[in-house]
Structure 1
Amino acid sequence: MLLYGRNPVLEALRDGRVSEVLVARGVEEALVAQLKATGVRLRFAPRIELDQLAGTTAHQGLLAEVEDLDWASVDDILDLAEKRSEPLLIVLLDGITDPRNFGAIIRSAEVLGAHGVVVEERRSAPLSPVVAKTAAGATSYLPVAQTKNLPRLMDALKKEGVWVYGAAGEAAQDVRRVDFSGKVALVIGAEGEGMRRLVREKCDALVSIPVRGQVQSLNASVAAGILLFEITRGRA
């Protein structure tokens, strides 16, 4: 898989998943020195070559061939929470097909202390270079798993004492007034459509973000970040 962008490439280097980095001519000397310090082989090329290979100009001057990103398992996520001795915080995505939203949610989840993200196999963007670029290296630290059936997984989590909250703009329950001290699963639905009916029905409660403006909805990744912040703030 071709990986581009400074943070994703540097994180992949730390993981030892890169043998050569293609560097655009003219990038700053400090970055080149940082790359050389890793011992990786560097190849310099005109920026237009990177544009063509990446299919975008947003590569920030770095391009690397790396092993494909591997899906984790739900057990990996549960193990991480146990390893940290923390109550589980897991993000469940129902129909997030935009790779930039997917990557941004992974990034927010990692930064705000979640233990993993789970998507349904047939209703998600793949783990692509765009996802890795938007996640800014978070895919190296946060388990991202697939499940064949999201409602079934929600039932299994509830049997383990996990309280499942669904994000819904019209929900009466203000996220700021919820006790998130226990094990929590946060469900984020698709842009525009929200959660599927069955997924919504499986939630223990629906929560909303109070809004003051005229626009009554938020981008899915922005909403996820705000909700995750409120969850971790409440726990603190």
Structure 2
Amino acid sequence: MYGINACLALFAHRPQALRKVWLLESRIPALKPVLAFCVKNRLGYTIVEAEDLERLSGSAHHEGVVFGAMPAEELTLSNWLRDLPSGPQLAIWLDGVGNPHNFGAIARSAAHFGAAGILLPKESTLALSGAAARVAEGGAEALPLVRLGRSDNAISQLTAAGFMLAATTVRGGQSLYATQLPSRLVLLMGAEQTGVDPALTQASTLKILIPGTGAVESLNVASATSVLLSEWRRQQMQAPASRR
């Protein structure tokens, strides 16, 4: 993992996952608590040059620090639902999304707007890579990743838990701004080339589009997710207590 905010968030949420730290000398002041933890727990840390960090991270955007750490544990849908509080909750189901930078941007927005989790299909290759974590700026550590089983079983479990499914579409849906969004909502976000799987769209109660000028067909999936999250959050904040 690399990037200063991503690494500090990992240390704040999962210090036990830390195994090794590489950093520039200039990053010592910002990482003093991390280095003290390493000393106390006999974990190695090494002062290196920028080219070493670029080689370790595979990126020029390392921001002066790389962590060697155990990956975050993914939850099953059953365990996630079991521990989920009652009341308003929103989850994001990523169907076919594979770009780690989009994943990181979605995680950042999800954390900002208070989403309860990101749902990943069993066949998805998405994981919290170093690139995704850096783009998320620490947001990926603030919400769980939930690995789904069969889609039909997942839909049944989510519906039984009071969630409504909303599939995003670029045509044929109702305007986001003319839709009363439910307090417990799963947003289905699809890959930019193919969109949400037709079977999942068919199973969704809501089909939503984000209206625009028509100058472009649609927003990037990460941008669209941010718009949808913002509108759900706005509606929940304005809703009377009886609807929350």
Query: TM-score by structure 1 length?
Result: 0.89
Does the 8 Å CA contact 2:87/2:183 hold for their aligned counterparts?
no
Deviations, residues 28-71 of structure 1 (Å, cap 9, x unaligned): xxx42231134144421111111111111010111111112211
Distance 1:137 1:40, change over 3 A: same
2:60 paired with 1:57: yes
Which blocks of at least 5 consecutive residues in structure 2 are unaligned? Answer: 39-44, 238-244
- Equivalent residue runs for 1:148-163 within 5 Å: 148-163=149-164
User: What is aligned with 1:33?
Assistant: 29
How does 1:117-136 map onto structure 2 within 5 Å? Answer: 117-136=118-137
Unpaired stretches in structure 1, ≥5 consecutive residues:
none
2:50 — aligned with what?
A: 47
Q: Give the match for residue 81 of structure 2.
A: 78
**2:2 corresponds to 1:4:** yes
CA contact (8 A) 1:167 1:208 kept: yes
CA gap 1:5/1:71 in 2 versus in 1, 3 angstroms: same
Q: 1:168 to 1:227 in 2, by over 3 A?
A: same
Corresponding residue for 1:103? 104
Please name the residue that 2:41 is paired with: none
Contact kept in structure 2, 1:81 and 1:87, CA below 8 Å: no
Aligned with 2:72 (options 69, 73, 90): 69
Structure 2 CA distance for partners of 1:135 and 1:150, relative to 1, 3 Å: farther
Give 2:225's aligned amino acid: A
Q: What letter is aligned with 2:89?
A: L
Q: Which residue of 1 aligns with 2:24?
A: 24
| Counterpart for residue 217 of structure 2 | 216
- How far is the alpha carbon of 1:79 from its aligned partner? 4.9
2:199 is aligned with what amino acid? L
The CA RMSD measured in Å over matched residues stands at 1.8
> Do the aligned residues in 2 keep the contact of 1:18 with 1:65 (CA within 8 Å)?
yes
State the 1:76 CA deviation.
4.7
In structure 1, how many angstroms separate the alpha carbons of the residues matched to 2:125 and 2:52?
30
In the TM superposition, structure 1's runs of 4+ consecutive aligned residues that sit over 6 Å from their partners are: none
Q: Give the conservation status (yes or no) of the 8 Å contact 1:164–1:203.
A: yes
Is 1:87 aligned to 2:85, yes or no? no
The answer on 1:168 being equivalent to 2:169 is: yes
Residue identity matched to 1:43? T
Distance 2:145 2:156 in 1: 19
8 Å contact 2:164–2:182 — kept in the other structure? no
- Find the residue that maps to 1:34 and give its secondary structure: coil
Q: Return the alpha-carbon distance in structure 2 between the equivalents of residues 66 and 32 of structure 1.
A: 19
How high is the sequence identity, in percent, across the aligned residues?
25
- Whether the 8 Å CA contact 1:18–1:40 is kept in 2: the answer is no
TM-score (norm 2): 0.86
Higher mean displacement: 52-61 or 149-158:
149-158
Deviates more, 1:14-23 or 1:87-96: 14-23
Q: Secondary structure at the match of 1:186?
A: strand
2: distance between equivalents of 1:77 and 1:105? Answer: 19
Shift of 1:73: 2.6
- Does the 8 Å CA contact 2:170/2:209 hold for their aligned counterparts? yes
The 1:159–1:183 alpha-carbon spacing in structure 2 relative to 1, beyond 3 Å, is same
